Structure 1
């Protein structure tokens, strides 16, 4: 049997000789049942296995594995030092050759045996798929956590917003009430101011009337009882008899008057013309029964204006509880001593 180039096919053992310089038919005359020569482009082990499994289909009468041929195992000294590079024929390829079929079986092998590609790919993807499952689980957990936090924040925000609205309403009501109260207070203050102005006007009018009445009384009432001295609107009586402080108080009461109470400097100066030289007179001044160091007038008012003499009051022998005037200056003295006294009353008509 010859191929398309006229060369015999099926020769099992073809001896390679160094004299054969024509390489155009070397590739086509190889035995397809022999192992394929080493090709630079066939490096995939799966493709090699597929090609080896496919070779018995080309050689039904021969076993799948053959002993090394002369082509695949040349004798020592017959192989040139440099193996010639593969050159395809000038006209075409013989696709009936097992080597050619093996050279172009990449696409066929991949399409014929898809499980050879799928199984290793599947094994390679199993660790990645586990990682994807773990990452997906983590993402789901993170998403649920974020959803929970978002829901909690939303609920808190809603609660706070409601409280803020309530507070704003309360503040608004308080502001309205404050404005209303402020208006009422302003009105009351205005009324009080008007009332104060009216009262001031009335007081001024009353003072003027009092002054006019006082002048009228002074013009009408120009006399004091017999034996009394007039000083302004008051009448003073200087006794001729000498009595104790208690008796002097009682005698003044009998004449509708009181022991004189000198509460200011003006009256103290006015009394000087009534005194005799070095005269001693009881006045309405006495120690507080509960506190001996406090002096009070007969009407219970505490002493503010004083005219004590030098080193007075000295509370001599712890018995000087009453006050006297020695022609002006004051002195403390025993209430049982008997001296003159001075009575005072308002001038009447």
Structure 2
């Protein structure tokens, strides 16, 4: 992400958020966030949901789906964030989550979450949202 101009950054509630316009698969987006000192974003409350959706609209990037750091862990039989935290707050779209979905994104259509199967994700590349605590990481991420 270094000199990448295909991104938007903002600070909210003590965290740096990076909204990438580059498209990657969910696993590659997760790796890219880690390489740059962050993680795919966790969304833990309505206030953060509102911030993300509002920021995406203000910057004109709301018209695209974006990966977040939530995925189905088969060994635990539940959704977990890339931080390892369990899912408590939920903002699923109507009819979601699909019983076969693994990776989660924020929908371009309504800003709610929907999940995507691993099979579909092999060829699916989307924009993504990284999150990092403010500190050393902010220099690489924001």
Give the TM-score range, shorter chain: 0.7 to 0.9
| Matched length | 120
Unpaired runs of 5+ in structure 1? Answer: 1-225
Contact in 1 for aligned 2:8/2:20 (Cα 8 Å): no
Distance 2:76 2:16 in 1: 33
Matches within 5 A, 1:1-349: 227-275=8-56, 276-290=61-75, 292=77, 294-315=78-99, 318=100, 320-327=101-108, 328-334=111-117, 335-336=121-122, 337-348=124-135
Distance 2:36 2:46 in 1: 26
CA-atom RMSD in angstroms: 1.9
The aligned counterpart of 1:97 is: none
Change (3 A) 1:227 1:280: closer
The aligned counterpart of 1:212 is: none
| 3-state SS, counterpart of residue 262 of structure 1 | coil
What TM-score does the superposition give when structure 1 sets the normalisation length?
0.32
Highest CA radius of gyration, 1 or 2? 1
Distance 2:62 2:9 in 1: 19
| 3-state SS, counterpart of residue 311 of structure 1 | coil
> Per residue, is there more strand in 1 or in 2?
2
> Per residue, is there more helix in 1 or in 2?
1
Unpaired runs of 5+ in structure 2? Answer: 1-6, 137-142
Distance 1:314 1:341 in 2: 20
> Structure with the greater relative contact order (CA < 8 A, sep ≥ 6): 1 or 2?
2
Distance 2:39 2:50 in 1: 19
What TM-score does the superposition give when structure 2 sets the normalisation length?
0.76
Contact in 2 for aligned 1:259/1:341 (Cα 8 Å): yes
